[in-house]
Amino acid sequence: MRRLPAPWSVERIPGGFIVKDANGQSLAYVYASETQAVTTTALTHDEGRRIAANIAKLPELLSEKQED
């Protein structure tokens, strides 16, 4: 049995996103600025969303690699 069952999902929270497994276990927090101001220390909202979405795709990518 997998410890972190797929599918993983992304939920928006104030200040960023949470990646959760199928059981609702929080796997990753991605913090991002909700303002459009460009800073050198914070992710933009869009960057944070894309990173969280890519983390959520990991189970699918790993299963494809194991089939090869």
pLDDT tens-digit profile of 1-51? 568 899 999 999 999 999 999 999 999 999 998 776 655 678 889 999 999
Question: Residue 34 has what pLDDT?
Answer: 77
Q: Count the neighbouring beta carbons within 10 Å of the beta carbon of residue 57.
A: 14
Cα 33 from Cα 8, distance rounded (Å): 23
Task: Give strand ranges (E) for the chain.
Answer: 9-13, 16-20, 26-31
Q: Which residues of 10-19 are buried (b: 16+ CB within 10 A; e: fewer)?
A: beeeeebbeb
Cα 7 from Cα 27, distance rounded (Å): 12
Amino acid at 10: V
